[in-house]
Each structure stands twice: as C-alpha cells, then as structure tokens.
Amino acid sequence: MKMTNANLLRLAGLSALIAGLCYVFVGVFHPANAVVSVSTTRWAVVHVVACAMSFFGVLGLAGIYARQALKTGWLGLVGFLMLSLWMVLIMGFSFVEAFVLPHLVTASPEFIDGWMKMFNGGTSTINMGVLPSVWTSTAPLYILGGLLFGIATFRARILPRWAGVLLAVGTLLAPLASQLSLAAMPKIAIPTGLALAWMGYALMTERTASGQTPSSQAVEAAAV
C-alpha cells in the first residue's frame, strides 16, 4: 500500500478503533484490583490487552489529532498531549501488572498489597517510592485530556461530534469509580473506549463525495 497522507490517517483510524475496542474489553473483563486476582489468567489477559490499548491508542490519537488539528487549535493540542501522556503512563503500569506482579505473588506479597492500595486507598506497609504519585497524576491527565479533546472534536465538526461528547462525558465519569465496588470500578472505562473506537472508525472509513482525501480536505478547511 502506498504510504500517502490519506492512507496514514486511515491506518491511524484503525489503530484508534483497535485501542477503543481494547479499552472496552478491559472495562468489561477487568477483575477486581485485589491480591487474589493477580495470579489468575484473566488478570494477565486483561493487562496484556491494556498494553495493546495504550500502544495503539497513542498511534490512533496522533492520527485523530492530525486530521482535525487545523480546527481544534490549542484546545485540541493540549487534550491530545495529556491523553497521549496518560496512555504512555498506563502502559507502564499495565506492563508491570501483566508481566511482573504474577511472579511476585509468593515472593513479595507485601509489594502486591502496596500496589493494590495505590488504586483502592489505604496505607502500604512498604515504601512504594514515586509510584503512588505517578499513579495519582494519571487521573487529571485522563479527565482533563479527555474533556478538552472531546470539546475540541465537537467544535471542529470534522469527525463525529457526538463521539467527542461521549469522550468528554466518559472521562468525566472517572471520579465516580471511587463510589463503586472493586469489581465495578473498571466499567467506568467503557464509554471512553466506545468514543475512541467511534472516532477511529470514522477516520478509517472517511470518504467524500468529491473524491478528496481527508488530508486535502483539512488543507481546504484551514482556508475557510
């Protein structure tokens, strides 16, 4: 396939679609953040999928932002940077949860207990270093990044506007997770995953009646 700008945007759309579906999968099947969950196959699978979500999400967001950058301005740029950084950090945590924690169930249960208390609250019996602070920083990146990027998408009128609304609302729901049970907390991610998949699908399948490519449309839109 010839690597034109339009084809690169479509590949980015596919990446965003995969990332969104992965995030929905994580929201539906994520087990409770508890020590007993770490040694299960379900835990490992979910966090491998979470790593994939972050990887494809960074690529997909880059394409979504590039497609509407001329219309979203600083609002879209800030939202894009915050969400991208959130995905990078989440990938690091997910990697540890998928490939490191299961090996520490017997060797260092205190570390796993401290890890879970980063998510669930409480005082760890061991020093977790900067990890709790890094985890805490992911919340504003996710909420503000999703809100700003969702508003920018809505205002740009290039990709589906209601996907932008769903992204903004989905990320704003995050604080409600603390009011849910440990098993229900991850389901807060489902609306955000659907929004990302929606925007990715729209970018991947975008066509115009005049036969213009998405990239040429963006250039013309900047002149309006």
Q: Is the pLDDT of residue 223 over 50?
A: no
State the pLDDT at residue 105: 87
> Residue 61 — φ and ψ, nearest 5°?
-60, -35
Is pTM, for the whole model, over 0.85? yes
| Higher pLDDT among residues 25 and 5, named by residue | 25
pLDDT digits (tens, 9 = 90+) for 16-37: 999 999 999 999 999 988 888 9
Name residue 170's amino acid: G
Domain segments of the chain: what residues? 5-206
The two tokens of residue 47 are 């966090």
Please name the residue that has the structure tokens 């950058």. 69
| Higher pLDDT among residues 82 and 107, named by residue | 82
Output the CA torsion sign for 66, 72, 73, 74. Answer: negative
Q: Is the pLDDT of residue 220 over 70?
A: no
Determine the straight-line distance between the first and last CA of the chain, rounded to whole angstroms.
Answer: 32
Which residues does 121 contact at the CB level (< 8 Å), separation at least 6? none
pLDDT digits (tens, 9 = 90+) for 116-150: 888 887 777 788 889 999 999 999 999 999 999 99
